[in-house]
Structure 1
């Protein structure tokens, strides 16, 4: 029996915390500056020595980049809800996962989402979960392919948040799931559905992944290998021939060499080679965001047409489609084994 002055203890439960990259709170200058400052100050994202990089970031990049990035965000902003599409979609994914997992486990689990950069922060959500009685937390970065600049930095922030807790919950992190059959099937199903709606079958499907400096590959980051294998597994699941799907990399930043081929250059090359009809999918993104809605669907689509292409189709991310939610639920259940 607890003494009279003992603090009230919540019912013990298990937390599932899904995490995505992040989003600015608005597309105005100061919202964009705060977000970009946090993002680009992360040494996992830009590993240039701090003494060299931070003055460039603070004095030069953050003086003009918020304007250009803000303009891009404004073009895709969910004005009805006052937030970016990534926030809207991640919330919808979480609501769907919460419903699925509550049907299985009732009030034994708590499902929340967080952002590595911006809000809701990982620190705030870990604190909330601990206060609500989560004695175990499964942390799930929503990146199918592992990369130091995505999965690892999210895990870093999660572990840093745990350091602030007097009573640390037991914790697990979900590993990369690029080869999970349920994820591959969901990806293939989305392609099949999109192709069924087209009058003309595309000459090629471009699997466009977020890029990274090539030297990260030589330093041991498995991201490139995960991406190439994702494309191969997708091709095999679809039953297609070699060459029907091409892996490319987008979002290059800075002057050094990044993973190739670059998406924007490859689609232009295809157009100049007489390929008039292509489709693009972004398997590295679990939810549509600035890199897919603005960069792929607008900038890269324009590059294809300017080079002579005619029909450009962007196949949306899996977002909160039922088959995606079922896949994520299966992955969560596998990683909850022995906990619930």
Structure 2
């Protein structure tokens, strides 16, 4: 193996704390070729599809990638904005806002980079930015509130795979989940109340989380439990009676059983049962994306209204709302506790110059 060189290192360069924000990813464009490339990377991940590679990869490349990209490209076209994919543009605004907060508080001490687990900007590209900024301590922050092996653990795989190529590793910490973080819960509660102030309170509030195959849960994945706790903490603060809200799971594919109840079937049954008004939120997503804009606010809206419901509204993800950024900064600060960049104990310019002079005297070249 050839290891990544750190020959560009200078002994008087300031050391930084690096924050790697990671979300799922998006195709580069809403076209069939771009979606095919994205799906090929996504669906080949053994954390996403836990089947033997010899069985799954021929199905993926021989069947799924010949059929699904065209259908998915149409869905992406329906949500694509002038500035690109909503997920990417929102994530970029989140990263910029977090960077600005730390620049105001600790100028030059923290470098924030954005990587996508699948697609671009890639995790290796984001880590390269941090390496070039002389990051010696790294905090990896997957933007998945509820832990799952298919999301959070997959980010760990990708980060450690890239770092295994580096000659000089940064000290590294990893945020596993934040499904019950007080700031996260408070930000969602505030977003619901703000929505109610405009649209009123519905008969039913539906928490729709992305699904995973049920056998992942049966084998010990805590995702289902994290989703239930998130919803319980939110509804406790809203003082909602149990009969006024539910947790469901969306985005299932294939023929095996996924976590239930399913979002689409629940909305159809509610509409048919005479429930007139529903509001839906997806607190497992940190940013609006195909699964919230097209799947929830378009497709599932149609299911509810088509079954007899009268009023449907979608409560947007936290995106780059100030309370969400507050929570992200607080979570980063908590997990980076004790590191010198946040303690104000980094070397000043005079000390860095002295370090360089000592290195040069020992034969260093920079």
TM-score category by the smaller chain?
A: over 0.9
Query: 2:51 aligned with 1:66, yes or no?
Result: no
Alignment CA distance shift 1:6-1:291 (3 Å) = closer
Q: Are the aligned partners of 1:250 and 1:264 in contact in 2 as well (CA < 8 Å)?
A: yes
Render the CA deviation track for 1:289-334: whole Å, top value 9, x for unaligned: 0000000001111000110011110000000001111111111110
What's the secondary structure of 1:202's corresponding residue?
coil
Q: Are the aligned partners of 1:286 and 1:317 in contact in 2 as well (CA < 8 Å)?
A: yes
User: Residue 292 of structure 2 aligns with which residue?
Assistant: 292
Distance in structure 2 (CA, Å) of the matches to 1:190 and 1:150: 25
User: Residue 38 of structure 1 aligns with which residue?
Assistant: 41
Q: Which of 5, 11, 14 is 1:11 aligned to? A: 14
Moved over 2 A (4+): 5-10
Give the total of aligned pairs.
333
CA shift at 1:223, angstroms?
Answer: 0.1
Query: 2:311 aligned with 1:308, yes or no?
Result: no
What's the secondary structure of 2:55's corresponding residue?
helix
User: Residue 268 of structure 1 aligns with which residue?
Assistant: 268
Render the CA deviation track for 1:177-233: whole Å, top value 9, x for unaligned: 0101110000110000001101x4211000000001111111000000000111100
Distance in structure 2 (CA, Å) of the matches to 1:50 and 1:240: 46
Distance in structure 2 (CA, Å) of the matches to 1:191 and 1:248: 17
CA shift at 1:6, angstroms?
Answer: 8.8
What's the secondary structure of 1:26's corresponding residue?
coil
Distance in structure 1 (CA, Å) of the matches to 2:9 and 2:331: 36
Q: Which of 13, 21, 31 is 2:24 aligned to? A: 21
Q: Are the aligned partners of 1:142 and 1:286 in contact in 2 as well (CA < 8 Å)?
A: yes
Distance in structure 2 (CA, Å) of the matches to 1:92 and 1:219: 37
User: Residue 228 of structure 2 aligns with which residue?
Assistant: 228
Within a 5 Å distance, the mapping from 1:1-340 to structure 2 comes to 8-9=10-11, 10-78=13-81, 80-81=82-83, 83-198=84-199, 200-339=200-339, 340=342
Distance in structure 1 (CA, Å) of the matches to 2:147 and 2:272: 34
Distance in structure 2 (CA, Å) of the matches to 1:244 and 1:336: 39
CA shift at 1:240, angstroms?
Answer: 1.4
What's the secondary structure of 2:242's corresponding residue?
coil
Q: Are the aligned partners of 1:127 and 1:165 in contact in 2 as well (CA < 8 Å)?
A: no
What TM-score does the superposition give when structure 1 sets the normalisation length?
0.96
What's the secondary structure of 2:274's corresponding residue?
coil
What TM-score does the superposition give when structure 2 sets the normalisation length?
0.89
Over the aligned positions, Cα root-mean-square deviation in angstroms equals: 1.2
CA shift at 1:100, angstroms?
Answer: 0.7
Q: Which has the larger radius of gyration?
A: 2
Stretches of structure 2 that go unaligned for 5 or more consecutive residues are 1-6, 343-366
CA shift at 1:64, angstroms?
Answer: 1.4
